[in-house]
A and B are shown apart, each in its own frame.
Chain A
C-alpha cells in the first residue's frame, strides 16, 4: 500500500517540483533583469492575468467555440476516417493503390493549404474544421486498416466456424478486435486536428482560443498572451487525459 503510494508520489513530486522550481527561477531571473521582462512577463503576472482574461475575454465562450470545432472535426474523422479505412480494407485493389498515398499525405504539411481552404470555405468555422479534419484523417484511415488487417487469423476462423455471415463477422469479430487500434488512430488524428484547429485560428485570427492569443499579442498584452497559451496547453492536457482513459478502457487486458 505505502509502497504503491510512494511509487506514484515520488515521480509526481519530482516532475511537478521541477516545474515549480523552473517557474520560480524564471521569476527570479526576470526580476534580476537577466531576462527581458518585455519579452517574457513575470510568471506571477501571468498568474494574475488569468482572472482578467477569463472575465474580460469571454474564455468560456471561446473555449466552447474551439471545443465545438474539435467535436465536429472528431465526428468527421470518425465517420470518414473509419469509413474510408473499412472501405480500403474491404476493397483490396483500392487499398493497394492508395495506402502509400494516404501514408504520404499523413506526412505532408497540409496546414499550409489554409489559404486554399480560406478561399473555398471562407473565413469561417468550416475552414477551421476542415483543416483539422484533413490533418487528422490519414492517421485514422491507416490505423483502421492496420487494426482490421491485424485481426488474428484464428479469431476470424473461429467466426467462420460458427458460420457467421460476412456482415456478422465484421460487427462481431473484426470491428471489436480492431477497436483498440482504431481508437489509437482516432486519438492520433484528433491530436493532429487539434494542433491545426488552434493553429489555424491563430493564423487567420478567427474563432476561439487561437484567435485570442493573436488578439492579445496584437494589443501587446504579454501576461494575457501567455495566460491564453496556458489555456491552450490546458486544453491539450484535458484532451490527453480523456483519450488516455478511453484508450485504457478499450485496450484488452494484457
Chain B
C-alpha cells in the first residue's frame, strides 16, 4: 500500500512548478497582493488614504454599503449586463461565427471587418452611440421613422424624479441603450474566439454527419456546439466576469452621474461604478475602504457565479 503511494507521487511532474514560476511570481505581486491589500482595507474603519491611519478593523464599510440604496441598484444593473446582455451578445457572436464558418470565399475579409470594432476608439464608439440615440436626429429614430414609429426620446429624464412611472420608463429606455451598446461592444472579441474554436473542430465529423443526411441546423446543434463547448464556456465565463466589472460603458453612455439628466438616483450605476465613485472620493476618510468593501463584494459575487457556472457546465464541456 505504502509502496503504491510512493509510485503515485513519482508520477507528478515536478517541473510543473518551474513552468508556473514566472506566472505565479507576477500573479502574486501584481494581483494577489493587491487583492489581499484590498481585502484588508475593506475592514479598516475611517481609513485615511493619505496617511494610512484608521480607527480599527470592523465591518463598518460593509454595513454602510448595504444600507445604501444605490448599491442595490448597482447590483441589479450589473446582473442585467451579466445575464441579459452577455448571453444576447454571445448568441449574436455565435450566430455570426457559424455563418462565417459556413462560407469559404471572403471569410478572411469578413473576419477583418468584424474585428474592426475591437480596435475602434472607445470615445468614437461612445460618441456614435450618443448620436444614434439622439431623439431629434439620431440614427435609431430615423430608422424608426421609416417604419412609421414616432421618435423616441431615448435618454430623457424630464419629470422622472416626480413620477415613478416616468422613472421606470426612462430606466427601461436606458437599459435598452445599454443592452445595444454592450452587445455591440463585446461581439468582435467573441467572434474571434468562437472562430478560433470552430477552426479547431475536425472537419471529419461534419463529413460523417453530412453523409448521413443530417441538416445543417442539426449538425450545428448536435456536433458543432458540443464540440465548441470548451470555447463557449471560456467565452461565457470570461464575459460574465468582464460584465461584472462593467464601468466604462455606462460612463460613456450616461455620464458620470449614471443616468439621464434629471436623475439623481444613479439609475444606471454598476458595481464597479459604485466602487469608482467611492474611490474618486479618495480624500474623504473611509472612502477607499468603502470602495474596497464594494470590490470584495463584487469578487464574492463573481466567484459565486463562476463556481455555479463551472458546476453547471462541467458535464457539458467536451475535451476530445
Does B bind A?
Answer: no
